[in-house]
Amino acid sequence: MRLISKFLALNSEEKSLLIKASILLWAIRIGLWVLPFRALYSISARGPSKPKQTNPSEERIVWAVKAASRYVPRATCLTQAMTARILLSMYGYCADLRIGVARESNQLKAHAWLEKEGRVLIGGSTCDYRPLPVEGL
């Protein structure tokens, strides 16, 4: 009940953004289960749309993806980064998907994040990860 009241307290732009983020998160999550990464990446790699008159800020878009990801099973860093990239693009923003690896105790760890002009938009701390060229994956 608390979740519903929190949703109803949002303004119409935030509700719309949260719904779009939820739908996209599910689509990307399912896509990552059934499609090769390269196919899903090429589908999601469109350029930015023309900016509309009133766009949500990059921060609000990232907020919506993070908030919605709590309710999507296995909404990993890659799922969130790809979703945020698509949403940002829909509103005329550009951002770069980064995938990196790090070695920890003889094991490789992977992480995905979204970056714009050297600033991480979503994906948390990336200092331990060495970025890979996404186009080659």
Q: Could you tell me the residue range of the domain that residue 50 belongs to?
A: 11-136
Residue 127 lies in a domain: yes
**Burial tier of 69 (Cβ tally within 10 Å: 0-12, 13-18, 19+):** buried
Summarize pLDDT for 108-134 with one digit per residue, the tens: 899 999 999 989 999 988 778 888 887
Least confident of 46-50, 63-67, 92-96: 46-50
Residue 5 lies in a domain: no
Residue 79 lies in a domain: yes
Is 80 exceeded by the pLDDT of residue 41? yes
Q: How far apart are CA 57 and CA 78, in angstroms?
A: 21
Q: Structure pTM?
A: 0.88
Residue 2 lies in a domain: no
Q: Which residues contact 104 (CB under 8 A, 6 or more apart)?
A: 128
Q: Is there a contact between 28 and 82 (Cβ–Cβ < 8 Å)?
A: yes
Residue 44 lies in a domain: yes
Residue 3 lies in a domain: no
Q: How far apart are CA 84 and CA 82, in angstroms?
A: 6
Domain count, the chain: 1
